Amino acid sequence: MNNKFQNKYRIPSARFKNWDYGNNGAYFITICAQNREHFFGEIISVADENEMQLNEIEKLAEPFWAEIPNHFPFVELGNYTIMPNHIHGILIINKQIIVDDIVETLQCNISTVNTTENINKKELMAEISPKSGTISTIIRSYKSALTKNAHFMHADFELQARFHDHIIRDSESFERIQNYIETNPELWKEDKFYN
């Protein structure tokens, strides 16, 4: 644990300590709305099947997720779904598909003037921020873009600071998780995030 903050401000990482989250692999990601509030819409029953009723924020969340490979060209998408209070998706890092001169771009960039104070802040942030090309960087970028744009529609919109991840280790797990994501709206009342 970093003693810089004397354990006052930083909580231990939920990430698996012996894994580089920039490694090639498939990752099952869950991002929750703050307090599991239903910011993305509601599940309704249509012809005896559950489906997600879209709202304006969900209409941002889905295309922003679909755009992740445009900003991070080494990422492929597996199944994903937007639920009333959370987002499930599979991100596949495959850095072998990178072509020379392609650079990842964040969805939300902010430029600053290089004063001494800003340089010191940048150095501090570089030390504690997620490293380029990792799941944390990808999710941070996605959440930033979604939150910034959702605030225009709902000033109280917030996502939980953390996200859940699971490293998918084999094809059997991959297929099981793909199926879980696909059927999540149908099984909404059995979901652990249901409220």
Mean pLDDT over 5-15 rounds to: 49
Domain locations along the chain: 20-187
With cut-offs at 50, 70 and 90, classify the pLDDT of residue 150.
Answer: very high
pLDDT tens per residue across span 80-136: 999 999 999 999 999 885 544 444 555 554 444 455 666 666 666 555 555 678 999
Q: What pLDDT was estimated at residue 32? A: 96
CA nearest neighbour of 28 among 81, 85, 95, 89 = 89
Mean pLDDT over 57-85 rounds to: 95
With cut-offs at 50, 70 and 90, classify the pLDDT of residue 51.
Answer: confident
Residue % of the chain over a pLDDT of 70: 71
Q: Of 25 and 21, which is predicted with more confidence?
A: 25
- Please state which architecture CATH assigns to domain 20-187: 2-Layer Sandwich (3.30)
Q: What pLDDT was estimated at residue 117? A: 64
Contact 135/26 with Cβ under 8 angstroms? no
Contact 68/138 with Cβ under 8 angstroms? yes
- Using alpha carbons, list the distances in angstroms from residue 91 to 6, 103, 165, 193: 34, 18, 10, 21
With cut-offs at 50, 70 and 90, classify the pLDDT of residue 35.
Answer: very high
Contact 78/92 with Cβ under 8 angstroms? yes
Q: What is the pTM of this model?
A: 0.75
User: Mean pLDDT in the chain?
Assistant: 82
How far apart (Å, rounded) are the C-alpha atoms in residues 114 and 5?
A: 25
